[in-house]
Chains A and B, each alone.
Chain A
Amino acid sequence: MGPHIVLNDAGISLGGRSILRGLNIEVAPGDVLGIAGPNGSGKTTLLRLLATLIAPDRGGGSVLGAKLGTPEVYAVRRLIGLISHTPAVIGELSIRENLEHAARLGGEDPVRVETALRVVGLTEAAPTRGEASSFGMLRRTEAARLLITRPRLLLLDEAFSGLDVDAQALIDALIARTTEHEGAVVMVSHDEAHLADRAGRVMTLSAGRLDTMA
Protein backbone atom coordinates (compact mmCIF):
# COMPACT_ATOMS: atom_id res chain seq x y z
CA MET A 1 0.00 0.00 0.00
CA GLY A 2 1.41 3.40 -1.01
CA PRO A 3 1.34 6.57 1.08
CA HIS A 4 -2.09 7.99 1.89
CA ILE A 5 -0.90 11.55 1.37
CA VAL A 6 1.79 12.93 -0.91
CA LEU A 7 2.32 16.65 -1.44
CA ASN A 8 5.01 17.83 -3.84
CA ASP A 9 5.85 21.51 -3.60
CA ALA A 10 2.12 22.25 -3.29
CA GLY A 11 0.80 25.73 -2.76
CA ILE A 12 -2.50 27.57 -2.55
CA SER A 13 -3.48 31.18 -3.04
CA LEU A 14 -6.84 32.50 -1.97
CA GLY A 15 -8.10 35.93 -2.99
CA GLY A 16 -4.76 36.69 -4.65
CA ARG A 17 -2.86 35.98 -1.42
CA SER A 18 -0.49 33.05 -1.06
CA ILE A 19 -1.73 30.99 1.90
CA LEU A 20 0.39 27.86 1.56
CA ARG A 21 3.60 27.37 -0.41
CA GLY A 22 6.23 24.74 -1.07
CA LEU A 23 4.49 22.00 0.94
CA ASN A 24 6.15 18.60 0.90
CA ILE A 25 4.54 15.87 2.99
CA GLU A 26 4.30 12.12 2.84
CA VAL A 27 1.95 10.31 5.21
CA ALA A 28 1.97 6.52 5.23
CA PRO A 29 -0.78 4.17 6.45
CA GLY A 30 -0.68 4.02 10.25
CA ASP A 31 0.95 7.46 10.58
CA VAL A 32 -0.28 10.24 12.84
CA LEU A 33 1.03 13.59 11.68
CA GLY A 34 0.65 16.65 13.86
CA ILE A 35 0.86 20.14 12.42
CA ALA A 36 1.32 23.01 14.83
CA GLY A 37 1.01 26.64 13.99
CA PRO A 38 -0.36 29.94 15.24
CA ASN A 39 -3.75 31.33 14.23
CA GLY A 40 -3.77 32.41 10.60
CA SER A 41 -0.81 30.25 9.60
CA GLY A 42 -2.89 28.25 7.09
CA LYS A 43 -3.67 25.11 9.13
CA THR A 44 -7.34 24.98 8.19
CA THR A 45 -6.57 25.62 4.52
CA LEU A 46 -4.04 22.77 4.63
CA LEU A 47 -6.65 20.40 6.06
CA ARG A 48 -9.16 21.43 3.40
CA LEU A 49 -6.48 20.74 0.78
CA LEU A 50 -5.91 17.27 2.26
CA ALA A 51 -9.68 16.71 2.38
CA THR A 52 -9.62 17.40 -1.40
CA LEU A 53 -12.17 20.19 -0.86
CA ILE A 54 -9.79 22.67 -2.46
CA ALA A 55 -7.09 22.02 -5.06
CA PRO A 56 -3.49 23.25 -5.08
CA ASP A 57 -2.75 25.94 -7.64
CA ARG A 58 0.99 25.23 -7.53
CA GLY A 59 2.74 21.89 -7.32
CA GLY A 60 0.67 18.76 -6.84
CA GLY A 61 0.11 15.62 -4.89
CA SER A 62 -2.29 12.84 -4.14
CA VAL A 63 -4.64 11.76 -1.36
CA LEU A 64 -5.55 8.07 -1.01
CA GLY A 65 -4.10 7.57 -4.49
CA ALA A 66 -6.26 10.26 -6.14
CA LYS A 67 -4.40 13.06 -7.85
CA LEU A 68 -5.33 16.41 -6.30
CA GLY A 69 -7.16 18.84 -8.55
CA THR A 70 -8.58 16.09 -10.77
CA PRO A 71 -11.95 14.31 -10.81
CA GLU A 72 -10.20 11.30 -9.24
CA VAL A 73 -10.74 12.92 -5.84
CA TYR A 74 -14.56 12.59 -6.03
CA ALA A 75 -14.26 8.83 -5.56
CA VAL A 76 -12.02 9.00 -2.46
CA ARG A 77 -13.86 11.75 -0.58
CA ARG A 78 -16.12 9.24 1.13
CA LEU A 79 -12.97 7.69 2.67
CA ILE A 80 -11.98 10.99 4.31
CA GLY A 81 -13.30 12.08 7.70
CA LEU A 82 -12.99 15.73 8.74
CA ILE A 83 -13.63 17.36 12.08
CA SER A 84 -13.43 21.09 11.49
CA HIS A 85 -13.79 24.18 13.69
CA THR A 86 -17.56 24.33 13.30
CA PRO A 87 -19.34 21.02 13.85
CA ALA A 88 -21.06 19.76 10.70
CA VAL A 89 -24.38 18.97 12.34
CA ILE A 90 -27.81 19.94 11.00
CA GLY A 91 -29.31 22.00 13.81
CA GLU A 92 -32.95 21.24 13.04
CA LEU A 93 -32.40 17.48 13.29
CA SER A 94 -31.84 15.50 16.46
CA ILE A 95 -28.46 13.94 17.14
CA ARG A 96 -29.85 10.51 16.21
CA GLU A 97 -31.42 11.84 13.00
CA ASN A 98 -28.13 13.52 12.04
CA LEU A 99 -26.31 10.23 12.40
CA GLU A 100 -28.97 8.24 10.57
CA HIS A 101 -28.90 10.80 7.73
CA ALA A 102 -25.11 10.56 7.47
CA ALA A 103 -25.20 6.75 7.66
CA ARG A 104 -27.75 6.48 4.84
CA LEU A 105 -25.94 8.99 2.62
CA GLY A 106 -22.62 7.29 3.32
CA GLY A 107 -24.07 3.93 2.32
CA GLU A 108 -23.76 2.54 5.87
CA ASP A 109 -26.34 0.54 7.77
CA PRO A 110 -28.31 2.93 10.06
CA VAL A 111 -28.34 0.11 12.64
CA ARG A 112 -24.77 1.16 13.44
CA VAL A 113 -26.10 4.47 14.78
CA GLU A 114 -27.24 3.02 18.13
CA THR A 115 -23.85 1.40 18.73
CA ALA A 116 -22.04 4.63 17.85
CA LEU A 117 -24.34 6.64 20.16
CA ARG A 118 -23.58 4.25 23.01
CA VAL A 119 -19.82 4.40 22.41
CA VAL A 120 -19.74 8.21 22.50
CA GLY A 121 -22.14 8.37 25.47
CA LEU A 122 -24.99 10.11 23.66
CA THR A 123 -27.74 7.50 23.94
CA GLU A 124 -29.70 9.61 26.44
CA ALA A 125 -29.14 12.82 24.48
CA ALA A 126 -29.93 11.28 21.08
CA PRO A 127 -33.38 12.97 20.74
CA THR A 128 -31.87 16.43 21.40
CA ARG A 129 -31.78 18.69 18.40
CA GLY A 130 -28.40 19.82 17.11
CA GLU A 131 -29.27 23.48 17.73
CA ALA A 132 -30.02 22.69 21.38
CA SER A 133 -26.83 20.69 21.95
CA SER A 134 -23.65 21.89 23.59
CA PHE A 135 -20.39 22.14 21.68
CA GLY A 136 -19.11 19.02 23.43
CA MET A 137 -22.21 17.07 22.43
CA LEU A 138 -21.80 18.17 18.81
CA ARG A 139 -18.17 17.04 18.86
CA ARG A 140 -19.27 13.67 20.24
CA THR A 141 -21.85 13.50 17.45
CA GLU A 142 -19.09 14.04 14.91
CA ALA A 143 -17.01 11.32 16.58
CA ALA A 144 -20.02 9.00 16.36
CA ARG A 145 -20.44 9.81 12.67
CA LEU A 146 -16.81 8.93 12.02
CA LEU A 147 -17.23 5.66 13.92
CA ILE A 148 -20.07 4.85 11.53
CA THR A 149 -18.38 5.93 8.30
CA ARG A 150 -14.93 4.58 9.28
CA PRO A 151 -12.71 6.93 7.24
CA ARG A 152 -9.32 5.79 6.02
CA LEU A 153 -7.94 9.31 6.37
CA LEU A 154 -8.89 11.27 9.48
CA LEU A 155 -8.35 15.04 9.50
CA LEU A 156 -8.73 16.87 12.79
CA ASP A 157 -8.82 20.65 13.05
CA GLU A 158 -8.37 21.74 16.68
CA ALA A 159 -10.51 18.72 17.52
CA PHE A 160 -9.55 18.68 21.21
CA SER A 161 -10.30 22.29 22.06
CA GLY A 162 -13.30 22.85 24.30
CA LEU A 163 -13.69 19.16 25.14
CA ASP A 164 -13.76 17.49 28.54
CA VAL A 165 -11.41 14.62 29.36
CA ASP A 166 -13.94 11.94 28.37
CA ALA A 167 -14.59 13.53 24.99
CA GLN A 168 -10.86 13.91 24.38
CA ALA A 169 -10.49 10.19 25.10
CA LEU A 170 -13.09 9.53 22.41
CA ILE A 171 -11.10 11.44 19.83
CA ASP A 172 -8.01 9.52 20.94
CA ALA A 173 -9.90 6.26 20.45
CA LEU A 174 -10.95 7.42 17.00
CA ILE A 175 -7.32 8.12 16.12
CA ALA A 176 -6.26 4.69 17.41
CA ARG A 177 -9.05 2.95 15.54
CA THR A 178 -8.09 4.68 12.28
CA THR A 179 -4.40 3.82 12.50
CA GLU A 180 -5.09 0.22 13.56
CA HIS A 181 -7.02 -0.24 10.32
CA GLU A 182 -4.20 1.02 8.09
CA GLY A 183 -5.60 4.52 8.06
CA ALA A 184 -3.72 7.77 8.62
CA VAL A 185 -4.41 10.82 10.75
CA VAL A 186 -3.45 14.45 10.28
CA MET A 187 -4.25 16.76 13.16
CA VAL A 188 -3.65 20.48 13.34
CA SER A 189 -3.61 22.61 16.45
CA HIS A 190 -2.05 25.73 17.88
CA ASP A 191 -1.40 23.63 21.00
CA GLU A 192 1.90 21.79 20.45
CA ALA A 193 1.56 19.81 23.69
CA HIS A 194 -1.65 18.16 22.43
CA LEU A 195 0.10 17.17 19.23
CA ALA A 196 3.32 15.96 20.86
CA ASP A 197 1.29 13.57 23.06
CA ARG A 198 -0.54 12.00 20.15
CA ALA A 199 1.39 12.36 16.89
CA GLY A 200 4.32 10.25 15.78
CA ARG A 201 5.68 13.26 13.92
CA VAL A 202 5.01 16.96 14.42
CA MET A 203 5.64 19.70 11.88
CA THR A 204 5.19 23.43 12.26
CA LEU A 205 3.33 25.62 9.82
CA SER A 206 4.43 29.19 9.77
CA ALA A 207 3.54 31.80 7.17
CA GLY A 208 2.31 29.06 4.85
CA ARG A 209 5.47 26.93 5.03
CA LEU A 210 5.96 23.59 6.74
CA ASP A 211 9.04 22.73 8.77
CA THR A 212 9.95 19.64 10.74
CA MET A 213 10.01 20.42 14.44
CA ALA A 214 13.38 20.31 16.14
Chain B
Amino acid sequence: MTALGRRGRPGRWLAFAIAIGFALVMLAPFALMVSTAFKEHAYVLEIPPRLIPESPTLDNFVQAITTNDFGRYFLNSVFVATISTILSVTLASMLAFVFARYEFPGRRLLFAALLFTIMVPGLVLLIPQFVLARNLGLLNSLWGLIVVYSVLNMGLNTFLMRGFFAGMPKDIFDAAQVDGAGPFRLFWSVALPLAKPGLATVTIFSFLAAWDEFTWAIVTIADRELYTLPVAIRLFQRANGTEWGLVFAASLIALAPVLVLFVALQRHIVSGAFQGATKG
Protein backbone atom coordinates (compact mmCIF):
# COMPACT_ATOMS: atom_id res chain seq x y z
CA MET B 1 0.00 0.00 0.00
CA THR B 2 1.43 3.35 -0.99
CA ALA B 3 0.26 6.92 -1.31
CA LEU B 4 -1.36 6.67 -4.72
CA GLY B 5 -2.43 3.15 -5.56
CA ARG B 6 -5.76 2.61 -3.90
CA ARG B 7 -6.20 -0.89 -2.68
CA GLY B 8 -6.31 -3.41 -5.46
CA ARG B 9 -5.82 -3.61 -9.15
CA PRO B 10 -7.60 -0.76 -10.99
CA GLY B 11 -5.49 1.90 -9.28
CA ARG B 12 -2.28 0.12 -10.05
CA TRP B 13 -3.16 -0.37 -13.70
CA LEU B 14 -4.08 3.28 -14.01
CA ALA B 15 -0.71 4.22 -12.50
CA PHE B 16 0.99 1.86 -14.94
CA ALA B 17 -0.82 3.40 -17.92
CA ILE B 18 0.15 6.93 -16.85
CA ALA B 19 3.73 5.83 -16.27
CA ILE B 20 3.94 4.34 -19.77
CA GLY B 21 2.43 7.44 -21.37
CA PHE B 22 4.88 9.63 -19.53
CA ALA B 23 7.76 7.38 -20.56
CA LEU B 24 6.78 7.80 -24.22
CA VAL B 25 6.90 11.59 -23.89
CA MET B 26 10.30 11.40 -22.19
CA LEU B 27 11.63 9.02 -24.84
CA ALA B 28 10.29 10.79 -27.93
CA PRO B 29 13.26 13.15 -28.43
CA PHE B 30 15.70 10.23 -28.08
CA ALA B 31 13.68 8.10 -30.47
CA LEU B 32 13.89 10.82 -33.12
CA MET B 33 17.61 11.30 -32.47
CA VAL B 34 18.32 7.58 -32.88
CA SER B 35 16.22 7.19 -36.00
CA THR B 36 17.73 10.31 -37.60
CA ALA B 37 21.22 8.96 -36.97
CA PHE B 38 20.32 6.00 -39.19
CA LYS B 39 18.80 8.09 -41.97
CA GLU B 40 20.34 9.26 -45.21
CA HIS B 41 20.82 12.99 -45.45
CA ALA B 42 17.84 13.55 -47.73
CA TYR B 43 15.42 12.19 -45.13
CA VAL B 44 16.54 13.90 -41.90
CA LEU B 45 13.86 16.60 -42.02
CA GLU B 46 11.05 14.67 -43.67
CA ILE B 47 7.43 15.40 -42.81
CA PRO B 48 5.87 13.44 -41.25
CA PRO B 49 8.96 12.36 -39.28
CA ARG B 50 9.46 8.63 -39.71
CA LEU B 51 10.47 6.71 -36.61
CA ILE B 52 11.73 3.71 -38.56
CA PRO B 53 13.96 4.93 -41.43
CA GLU B 54 12.85 3.77 -44.85
CA SER B 55 16.31 2.68 -45.86
CA PRO B 56 18.41 2.58 -42.69
CA THR B 57 22.12 3.21 -43.12
CA LEU B 58 25.26 3.13 -40.97
CA ASP B 59 26.96 5.77 -43.13
CA ASN B 60 26.63 8.48 -40.51
CA PHE B 61 28.43 6.44 -37.88
CA VAL B 62 31.15 5.39 -40.27
CA GLN B 63 31.67 8.96 -41.42
CA ALA B 64 31.70 10.34 -37.87
CA ILE B 65 34.39 7.89 -36.78
CA THR B 66 36.55 7.79 -39.89
CA THR B 67 36.54 11.29 -41.32
CA ASN B 68 35.94 13.37 -38.22
CA ASP B 69 38.33 11.98 -35.66
CA PHE B 70 35.58 11.21 -33.17
CA GLY B 71 37.66 8.27 -31.95
CA ARG B 72 40.30 10.73 -30.83
CA TYR B 73 37.79 13.03 -29.09
CA PHE B 74 36.27 9.99 -27.44
CA LEU B 75 39.63 8.98 -25.95
CA ASN B 76 40.27 12.54 -24.78
CA SER B 77 36.95 12.54 -22.97
CA VAL B 78 37.61 9.12 -21.41
CA PHE B 79 41.04 10.24 -20.17
CA VAL B 80 39.87 13.54 -18.73
CA ALA B 81 36.69 12.19 -17.12
CA THR B 82 38.39 9.14 -15.60
CA ILE B 83 41.35 10.92 -14.02
CA SER B 84 39.29 13.83 -12.73
CA THR B 85 36.67 11.47 -11.28
CA ILE B 86 39.31 9.48 -9.40
CA LEU B 87 40.87 12.68 -8.06
CA SER B 88 37.59 14.30 -7.13
CA VAL B 89 36.05 11.24 -5.43
CA THR B 90 39.21 10.39 -3.47
CA LEU B 91 39.89 13.89 -2.23
CA ALA B 92 36.24 14.69 -1.47
CA SER B 93 35.90 11.43 0.51
CA MET B 94 38.94 12.29 2.60
CA LEU B 95 37.56 15.76 3.29
CA ALA B 96 34.09 14.43 4.04
CA PHE B 97 35.40 11.77 6.42
CA VAL B 98 37.33 14.30 8.48
CA PHE B 99 34.43 16.80 8.50
CA ALA B 100 32.02 14.06 9.59
CA ARG B 101 34.04 12.37 12.33
CA TYR B 102 36.57 14.79 13.81
CA GLU B 103 36.57 18.02 15.74
CA PHE B 104 39.44 20.36 14.89
CA PRO B 105 40.17 24.08 14.72
CA GLY B 106 38.82 25.66 11.53
CA ARG B 107 36.28 22.91 10.87
CA ARG B 108 33.17 25.08 10.53
CA LEU B 109 34.89 27.75 8.49
CA LEU B 110 36.43 25.29 6.01
CA PHE B 111 33.18 23.41 5.54
CA ALA B 112 31.23 26.64 4.98
CA ALA B 113 33.83 27.76 2.42
CA LEU B 114 33.41 24.45 0.56
CA LEU B 115 29.64 24.75 0.54
CA PHE B 116 29.78 28.36 -0.60
CA THR B 117 31.20 27.33 -3.96
CA ILE B 118 28.08 25.27 -4.65
CA MET B 119 26.22 28.60 -4.71
CA VAL B 120 28.68 30.44 -6.92
CA PRO B 121 28.10 30.01 -10.66
CA GLY B 122 31.00 28.26 -12.36
CA LEU B 123 31.35 31.16 -14.78
CA VAL B 124 32.45 33.43 -11.90
CA LEU B 125 35.62 31.42 -11.64
CA LEU B 126 36.13 31.14 -15.37
CA ILE B 127 38.15 34.30 -15.95
CA PRO B 128 40.62 33.96 -13.06
CA GLN B 129 40.92 30.22 -13.72
CA PHE B 130 41.81 31.08 -17.27
CA VAL B 131 44.55 33.48 -16.15
CA LEU B 132 45.82 30.91 -13.64
CA ALA B 133 45.91 28.18 -16.27
CA ARG B 134 47.79 30.48 -18.62
CA ASN B 135 50.39 31.29 -15.96
CA LEU B 136 50.86 27.61 -15.11
CA GLY B 137 51.09 26.55 -18.76
CA LEU B 138 47.86 24.56 -18.51
CA LEU B 139 46.01 26.29 -21.34
CA ASN B 140 45.23 24.12 -24.32
CA SER B 141 46.06 21.01 -22.29
CA LEU B 142 44.00 18.07 -21.08
CA TRP B 143 45.57 18.46 -17.62
CA GLY B 144 44.13 21.95 -17.46
CA LEU B 145 40.71 20.35 -17.92
CA ILE B 146 41.45 17.66 -15.33
CA VAL B 147 42.36 20.01 -12.46
CA VAL B 148 39.30 22.18 -12.97
CA TYR B 149 36.94 19.21 -13.37
CA SER B 150 38.33 17.69 -10.16
CA VAL B 151 37.39 20.84 -8.27
CA LEU B 152 34.04 21.25 -10.06
CA ASN B 153 32.15 18.86 -7.80
CA MET B 154 34.34 18.93 -4.73
CA GLY B 155 31.81 20.90 -2.66
CA LEU B 156 28.80 18.77 -3.57
CA ASN B 157 30.71 15.49 -3.30
CA THR B 158 32.04 16.42 0.13
CA PHE B 159 28.55 17.40 1.23
CA LEU B 160 27.00 14.11 0.05
CA MET B 161 29.79 11.90 1.39
CA ARG B 162 29.80 13.67 4.74
CA GLY B 163 26.17 12.60 5.18
CA PHE B 164 27.18 8.98 4.69
CA PHE B 165 30.14 9.07 7.06
CA ALA B 166 28.17 10.94 9.72
CA GLY B 167 25.43 8.33 9.63
CA MET B 168 27.76 5.41 10.41
CA PRO B 169 27.48 3.90 13.91
CA LYS B 170 30.11 5.18 16.32
CA ASP B 171 30.85 1.73 17.78
CA ILE B 172 32.69 0.39 14.75
CA PHE B 173 35.07 3.34 14.81
CA ASP B 174 35.58 3.05 18.55
CA ALA B 175 36.40 -0.64 18.23
CA ALA B 176 39.00 0.02 15.53
CA GLN B 177 40.46 2.90 17.52
CA VAL B 178 40.96 0.65 20.54
CA ASP B 179 42.98 -1.60 18.23
CA GLY B 180 45.24 1.38 17.60
CA ALA B 181 43.96 2.52 14.19
CA GLY B 182 44.62 6.18 13.32
CA PRO B 183 42.50 8.41 11.05
CA PHE B 184 44.07 7.03 7.87
CA ARG B 185 43.36 3.42 8.78
CA LEU B 186 39.85 4.27 9.97
CA PHE B 187 39.17 6.08 6.73
CA TRP B 188 40.60 3.46 4.42
CA SER B 189 39.59 0.17 6.04
CA VAL B 190 36.50 1.05 8.08
CA ALA B 191 34.68 4.05 6.60
CA LEU B 192 35.26 3.64 2.84
CA PRO B 193 34.07 0.03 2.52
CA LEU B 194 30.85 1.01 4.32
CA ALA B 195 30.28 4.00 2.07
CA LYS B 196 29.98 2.11 -1.23
CA PRO B 197 26.52 3.43 -2.21
CA GLY B 198 27.74 6.96 -1.56
CA LEU B 199 30.90 6.35 -3.55
CA ALA B 200 28.89 4.98 -6.47
CA THR B 201 26.74 8.10 -6.45
CA VAL B 202 29.51 10.66 -6.34
CA THR B 203 31.51 8.63 -8.87
CA ILE B 204 28.78 8.71 -11.47
CA PHE B 205 27.93 12.35 -10.81
CA SER B 206 31.56 13.40 -11.12
CA PHE B 207 32.08 11.33 -14.24
CA LEU B 208 28.93 12.74 -15.84
CA ALA B 209 29.90 16.29 -14.95
CA ALA B 210 33.37 15.88 -16.44
CA TRP B 211 32.09 13.98 -19.49
CA ASP B 212 29.51 16.69 -20.22
CA GLU B 213 31.51 19.78 -19.33
CA PHE B 214 31.49 22.27 -22.13
CA THR B 215 32.21 25.83 -21.03
CA TRP B 216 35.72 25.45 -19.62
CA ALA B 217 36.66 23.20 -22.54
CA ILE B 218 35.67 25.68 -25.26
CA VAL B 219 37.43 28.49 -23.42
CA THR B 220 40.75 26.73 -22.93
CA ILE B 221 41.17 24.14 -25.69
CA ALA B 222 42.30 25.52 -29.03
CA ASP B 223 43.85 22.52 -30.82
CA ARG B 224 41.53 20.24 -32.70
CA GLU B 225 43.24 17.09 -31.48
CA LEU B 226 42.59 18.04 -27.85
CA TYR B 227 38.81 18.51 -28.22
CA THR B 228 36.54 16.64 -25.87
CA LEU B 229 33.26 15.24 -27.19
CA PRO B 230 30.86 18.08 -26.23
CA VAL B 231 33.11 20.67 -27.89
CA ALA B 232 33.62 18.51 -30.95
CA ILE B 233 29.92 17.75 -31.37
CA ARG B 234 28.88 21.38 -31.03
CA LEU B 235 31.49 22.65 -33.49
CA PHE B 236 30.58 19.79 -35.76
CA GLN B 237 26.96 20.95 -35.80
CA ARG B 238 28.10 24.54 -36.39
CA ALA B 239 30.16 23.45 -39.36
CA ASN B 240 27.68 21.03 -40.89
CA GLY B 241 24.42 22.86 -40.27
CA THR B 242 21.64 20.50 -41.18
CA GLU B 243 23.62 17.26 -41.38
CA TRP B 244 21.55 16.03 -38.47
CA GLY B 245 22.22 12.37 -39.20
CA LEU B 246 25.95 12.88 -38.69
CA VAL B 247 25.46 15.11 -35.65
CA PHE B 248 23.24 12.56 -33.93
CA ALA B 249 25.46 9.61 -34.85
CA ALA B 250 28.33 11.43 -33.11
CA SER B 251 26.03 12.25 -30.18
CA LEU B 252 25.09 8.61 -29.75
CA ILE B 253 28.76 7.63 -29.71
CA ALA B 254 29.24 10.17 -26.89
CA LEU B 255 26.20 8.97 -24.99
CA ALA B 256 27.07 5.25 -25.00
CA PRO B 257 29.70 5.14 -22.20
CA VAL B 258 27.71 7.13 -19.66
CA LEU B 259 24.69 4.99 -20.39
CA VAL B 260 26.72 1.84 -19.71
CA LEU B 261 28.19 3.33 -16.53
CA PHE B 262 24.79 4.42 -15.32
CA VAL B 263 23.11 1.09 -15.94
CA ALA B 264 25.96 -0.63 -14.10
CA LEU B 265 25.73 1.65 -11.07
CA GLN B 266 22.08 2.68 -11.01
CA ARG B 267 21.11 0.16 -8.32
CA HIS B 268 23.30 2.02 -5.81
CA ILE B 269 22.17 5.45 -6.85
CA VAL B 270 18.52 4.80 -6.28
CA SER B 271 18.96 2.78 -3.11
CA GLY B 272 19.22 5.71 -0.80
CA ALA B 273 21.94 7.70 -2.49
CA PHE B 274 20.43 10.94 -1.34
CA GLN B 275 19.72 9.97 2.22
CA GLY B 276 22.98 11.62 3.18
CA ALA B 277 21.88 14.84 1.56
CA THR B 278 18.33 15.02 2.78
CA LYS B 279 19.24 14.20 6.37
CA GLY B 280 22.12 16.66 6.16
Chains A and B bind each other = no
